Each structure stands twice: as C-alpha cells, then as structure tokens.
Amino acid sequence: MTAGPARPATPRYDVVVVGAGLAGSLVAKRLGDRGWRVLVLEAGTRTLDSWPGHLDALDTAHAALAKVPNAPYRRNPAAPFPDVLDLTGLPDGGYRADGYFLQNGPLPYGSDHLRATGGTALHWMGLAPRMHPDDFHVRRAYGYGRDWPLAYDDLEPHYRAAERELGVAGDADEQRDAIGLPFPPGYGYPMHKIPRSYLDSVIAARLDGVRLREAPDAPETTLRVVTTPHARNSTPNPGYDSGRGHRPRGAVGTPNYGERCVGHAFCVPICPVQAKYTPLKTQATWSDDVTLVAHAVVSRVLTAGNGRVLGVEYQRYDDPASPAHTTRTAEADLVVLAAHAVENAKLLLLSGLADASGQVGRNLMDHPVLLTWGLLDHPAGPFRGPGSTSGLECFRTGPARRDRAPFRVEIGNWGWSWPAGSPSGDVSRLLGITGDPSQPRGKGLFGARLRRELGHFVGRQFSFQFAFEQDAESRNRVTVDPRHRDRLGIPRPVLTYDLSDHVKRGIASAKAVSDQLFRLLGAEDHTAYAPGTSAPGWFRHGDGAFEFKGAGHAAGTHVMGASRADSVVDPWQRCWDHPNLYAVGCGSMPSVGTSNPSLTMAALTLRSCERMHRDLTELHRPAALRLPEGRP
C-alpha cells in the first residue's frame, strides 16, 4: 500500500486574533510580548504600514470629492465595509441604505467602519477621554440602559496602561477639577495637553463661569471650556512615569515624521504626518512571536463539540479585484474576536456560538451626534489643528440623566465642514455653482472679491457637536440574512436601529442649550434641520424636528455582564458559553457614557489580556504526575 501525499498540517498557534484594528493589535502586542505564538488574521489589505502606501492613501483622499472618513482607503470587494455616503435621505423624511449594511430600522445607523490592516482607528479623530465613574452603573443610578459588571476603579490602572500605549496628551488636573475624574495622586498624562485652539479661547472668554438652565424649571449649570485628552503627539511630559518621561512615536517606517501634531486639520480621514495614534504604531512594536496574515477573511469559528473552540475558518484571497479565494483553517488554544462590534456579532451569529442568552447582536449603540452651527462676529481661525480641542463637559452626568440622555459638547474647529461641507461647499456657492446640472450656472464671485468673501464667511464659522449617550436596547441589533452575501459568499450584516425617547429628549434639551449658547456668544445661528438627500437622520420629536449623525462609535453587540443569563461575555470579555473564546472591543460595553469609547475599550482589552495570559499559562502548565501509592 502506498501512502498518499502528505497534507500540510493545519498551523497551530497559542492564540488566533481575528482583526488587526485597535483591539486586535493590543492583544497581539501583550500576548506576543509574553512569548505566546499569536496569529493575527486580517480581512483587509496591508498597504498603510509602508510610507509609500501611506502617501498613496493620502493622494486618494486629496483626490476624493467628499473627504469622508473612508475617502483614503480603497474599496475592497473581498472585505467590504460601510461608508457614510451609503445613506441617502428621502424628500419627506426616512432614508435609503445602499451599501454594505442592510438596514431595516426606523432610523438609520449612520456610522462606518474600516476593514484594512489598522482598522477603523486609521480614520478616527483620536479623542481619548475616560468614561465618568457614574457611566458604569446607569441602570442602578438613573434607571435606564445596562450596568457594567465592573466599576471605574477596576479599570483605572488599565486606563493608565492604555494612555501609555496610545501616547495620550492631556491635563489630568483639569480633568479631575472640571469633570470629577479620579486619577491617582500625582498622575500626569504621557504628553502635555494639546493647546486650546483660538476658537476655544474665544468661546471660553464668553462662556466660562456663565450659569444657564436647560429648561425654566431645571437647576443651573455652570459652563466651563475644558481641553480634551487626545491620542496624538504633543509635547512630551518630562515628569511622566516618575520622571522617566515619554518618547512620542512618529510615523510608521519614517519615525522622524509625526512626532508632533502640526495642525494639518485632516485627522479624519488621515493624518498626513501620522502624529495621531493609529494601531499601526502598536503593530510596529509587535514581537517576532506575532504573525500577521492579511487578505484573510474569517468566516466562522470552529468548535470542538465540548463547548471549547478549535480555531477559525477563513477565506484567503490574493487580489482584492478577483473573486478567487481558498478556504483555510487555523487552530489555536485561544480564539480572540477583535473584528469590530458589528463584525464580531456577525461572526458569532454565523458560527451559531455564544448565544445562550439570546443577546448576540443586540444592544447596538453609537453616540448619536447633533450638530449646530453659526458665525461669530469676528474671525475665529477655523480649519486649523484637530477637529476639536476642547468642549463643555458639564452635561455628562447628574440627576438630569434620569429624564434625558447626557451629552458632551465638542467645540468644532473645522467650521461647517460636517454640517454643510465647508469650505468646498462655500467656494462652489460663491462661484455660483449649484451642483444641480438643470440650473443655469449663476454669476459667481471671482478673484479678490471671492477671496475676501470667503475669508469673511469661512473665517467666522464654528460648530458645536453634541454627542449623546445611547442606552442599550435589545431591539437595536445586528443580524445576518443568508440571502444577502458579499463576494466571498459571507452573509452581510443587517442593522435595526432607532433612538429611544430618552435619547430624543436629550437631543431636544441639547438644542435648547445650543440656542442659549449662541445667544451668549452673540453668534448668528445658522442651524436648520430639514428632510432631504443629505439628511438621512432627520426625525420629528415633540414639536421639533432634528437631524442626527453617527459618531462611528459602534458598541454593545456582545455585551458584558455579571450573569450568563443576560449577557454574552463575562467581565474578562470571555464568552460565557465557550471558555477559550474571547470577543473584545466596544461590542462588550454595556453602556457607553458620553466619552469617545476607544480609550475605555483599550483599557478593557488590556485588562482582558491578563486573563488570557492566565488561561494560556494554565493550559500549558506541565501536568503533575502522581503515581498510585506503593508504586516505585
């Protein structure tokens, strides 16, 4: 009998991590540093981690008509991703969704994500505030949403570890005084805070110390402009880490670039010099024990039949433009899903795993954003520096949370870019180009008059971005529908999304606050919400009409809890039903507070790495043999 050709053995690792975004990069870093053999499978391409690849993305963004978050990143039919341009508003309200996400909710889920090595944080804004301690127990304290099985104090050391890894610039004393965030005595961030923009100073000069009421019968709130912590390079803090200081990380592959934010004002979609943290910076420090395989779309988690998982099945393609691909498997002692809140839920649903509680895919959250915009009475210097450097933090917590969603107010440094497509929209308007081919071309302004008018108009623009806490609701969810598949045959996510009355009341309160802020600033308020093509998030509430946008902060699809009966993962982000399967990322967060979520997510992930290390150590501990009594 002749033996058949030897088949290549399925490669075996200690850990398989699905996704090379922020969460996956941190897991690979921590476990690789401890000597575990880690395989990272990444669905997207791997071009951004070389300087030529970065420049190519930058060129693509510059050439794009709409500078939306995904503008620099080439479409990839093998690993499709959503885009904010996929949504169109209808003339009388309502919306149409045409892209990767199938949507069937009363309101649209308005955020995108990115499937490429580095993930969504390639195009994040990089704001890195901590959650408020009250945010961890909103049901107990305020009667809505879900509680964490952890408290702020459990995460605090991991917040510091995340701030170190992301190189956060901030002012701990200001965060303590203005917001009430507890820090250990003497703690300072790795880098000094990003300085206030000129606009921040103008607004602070007019608002600091002013007291206002959200409603006539509401208590007074004292306004104060507070700088925001950022994951972008500023001046290193020499006192950091007991005087050891902090060395900022420059661009990947070109480290003398990007050691300082130089104010390009292009952080979303891409920082030209890479002064903003992206997971590529963490990947650049991975140990040799980490292997990254891009072009590898995980389609299923494989089970052993005893509750444990074996590894994953993935689809490997060479050319994003070709449908050709092969199905492969990878085995490991531990599988970590780090594919983004929506994709993690999709994978669990496709694998039929971790859903004894019936909560997989449910409790989808974002930070719905209300924009208001206006003109100051003198130039404010917009379109310089990061999109927001300061905000008003006084609406983040307090008894009003019982009645309406809390919110953060970001002061928008980029004029009317988000609400009205400035400055290119203003240039077109002043040139007399309406964008409607059926309309005759108007008589526009040219030369010195155009420049003067632009300077006068654009130079006075500012906006407020109100970001609301969205409460976990099981009806907001991700499901999969086998009738709708991507090019590799993997079902696409179906999203059902709406805003609760709690959130809508928050939006109405914030608009009332905004009206007062404009009056206090003596600014012309140009805010207007009308249904139409560019307003898919338009809705009526009470006597008012509003429009919300997505913040890109997908969360809550595999929520963490204290009991396996009503949550998907335990406080270590380990699936209750599968002891060697973790699902990490914002999907584990039971509530999101009002702070941008990624720093908290990073802290949570670093905390989970400790448990993963313990699990692996236990699995690999040499067996102790005890021979029966009396045997030599």
Question: Which residues lie near ligand SF4 (CB under 6 A)?
Answer: 232, 261-267, 271-273, 275-276, 385-386
Residue 214, C-beta contacts closer than 8 angstroms, at least 6 positions apart: 221, 395, 400, 509, 512, 513
Phi-psi category of 593—alpha, beta or left, where left has phi over 0 and alpha has psi -120 to 50? left
Residue 330, C-beta contacts closer than 8 angstroms, at least 6 positions apart: 10, 11, 13, 16, 39, 41, 311, 312, 314
Nearer to ligand FAD, 69 or 145 (CB): 69
Residue selected from 125, 280, 348, 507 as contacting ligand FAD according to rule CB under 6 A: 125
Nearest-CA neighbor of 337 among 627, 41, 102?
A: 41
If contact means CB under 5 to 8 A according to the sort of partner, which of ligand SF4, ligand FAD, none does residue 430 touch? none
If contact means CB under 5 to 8 A according to the sort of partner, which of ligand SF4, ligand FAD, none does residue 265 touch? ligand SF4
Q: Least distance to ligand FAD from the beta carbon of 343, Å?
A: 4
Q: Select from 107-115, 158-166, 172-180, 303-311 the region that touches ligand FAD (CB under 6 A).
A: 107-115
If contact means CB under 5 to 8 A according to the sort of partner, which of ligand SF4, ligand FAD, none does residue 535 touch? none
Residue selected from 15, 127, 494, 559 as contacting ligand FAD according to rule CB under 6 A: 127
Rounded Cα–Cα distance for residues 113 and 345 (Å): 14
Q: Phi and psi dihedrals of 210, rounded to 5?
A: -75, 140
Rule CB under 6 A: which of 68-87 touch ligand FAD? 69
Rule CB under 6 A: which of 6-45 touch ligand FAD? 18-24, 41-44
Burial class (CB in 10 A: 0-12, 13-18, 19+), 584: buried
Residue selected from 110, 119, 385, 491 as contacting ligand FAD according to rule CB under 6 A: 119
Asked if residue 112 binds ligand FAD (CB under 6 A), the reply is yes
Query: What is the sign, positive or negative, of the torsion defined by CA atoms of 468, 473, 476, 482?
Result: positive
Residue selected from 181, 298, 535, 616 as contacting ligand FAD according to rule CB under 6 A: 298
Nearer to ligand FAD, 199 or 369 (CB): 369
Rule CB under 6 A: which of 476-495 touch ligand FAD? none
CA distances from 247 to 32, 190, 234, 241 (A): 22, 9, 11, 11
Q: Least distance to ligand SF4 from the beta carbon of 272, Å?
A: 6
Nearer to ligand SF4, 71 or 275 (CB): 275
Nearest to ligand FAD by Cβ — which residue? 21
Residue selected from 596, 606, 613, 615 as contacting ligand FAD according to rule CB under 6 A: 596
Q: Least distance to ligand SF4 from the beta carbon of 268, Å?
A: 8
Rounded Cα–Cα distance for residues 228 and 596 (Å): 11
If contact means CB under 5 to 8 A according to the sort of partner, which of ligand SF4, ligand FAD, none does residue 70 touch? none
If contact means CB under 5 to 8 A according to the sort of partner, which of ligand FAD, ligand SF4, none does residue 158 touch? none
Rounded Cα–Cα distance for residues 253 and 230 (Å): 22
Q: Least distance to ligand FAD from the beta carbon of 111, Å?
A: 6
Scanning 382-423, the segments in alpha helix (DSSP H) are 417-420
Quick check: 204 and 244 in contact, CB under 8 A? no
If contact means CB under 5 to 8 A according to the sort of partner, which of ligand SF4, ligand FAD, none does residue 271 touch? ligand SF4
Q: Least distance to ligand FAD from the beta carbon of 304, Å?
A: 21
Nearer to ligand SF4, 128 or 400 (CB): 128
Rule CB under 6 A: which of 562-591 touch ligand FAD? 585-586
If contact means CB under 5 to 8 A according to the sort of partner, which of ligand FAD, ligand SF4, none does residue 127 touch? ligand FAD
DSSP H or E stretch at residue 483: strand 477-485
Q: Least distance to ligand FAD from the beta carbon of 19, Å?
A: 2
Quick check: 115 and 80 in contact, CB under 8 A? yes
Asked if residue 597 binds ligand FAD (CB under 6 A), the reply is yes
Residue selected from 17, 172, 268, 375 as contacting ligand FAD according to rule CB under 6 A: 268
Q: Least distance to ligand FAD from the beta carbon of 403, Å?
A: 27
Task: Please tell me the number of Cα atoms within 13 Å of 454 on its side-chain side.
Answer: 18
If contact means CB under 5 to 8 A according to the sort of partner, which of ligand FAD, ligand SF4, none does residue 132 touch? none
Buried b (16+ CB within 10 A) or exposed e, 42-57: bbbbbbbbeeebbeeb
Q: Phi and psi dihedrals of 351, rounded to 5?
A: -90, -10
Nearest-CA neighbor of 418 among 468, 462, 385, 377?
A: 462
Q: If you search the block for the tokens 């907001």, which residue do you land on?
A: 476
Number of C-beta neighbours around residue 618 at 10 A = 8
If contact means CB under 5 to 8 A according to the sort of partner, which of ligand FAD, ligand SF4, none does residue 119 touch? ligand FAD
User: x/- binding map, residues 306-345, to ligand FAD, per CB under 6 A?
Assistant: --------------------------------xxx--x--
Nearer to ligand FAD, 340 or 362 (CB): 340
Nearer to ligand SF4, 21 or 385 (CB): 385
Asked if residue 537 binds ligand FAD (CB under 6 A), the reply is no
Rounded Cα–Cα distance for residues 205 and 225 (Å): 9
**Strand ranges (E), 183-308:** 211-213, 220-222, 225-227, 290-293, 296-303
Longest dimension (CA), the chain: 105
Quick check: 158 and 607 in contact, CB under 8 A? yes
Eight-state DSSP code of residue 321: T
In the complex, the residues that contact ligand FAD under the rule CB under 6 A are 18-24, 41-44, 69, 111-113, 115-116, 119-121, 123-127, 268, 297-298, 338-340, 343, 347, 552-553, 585-586, 596-599, 601
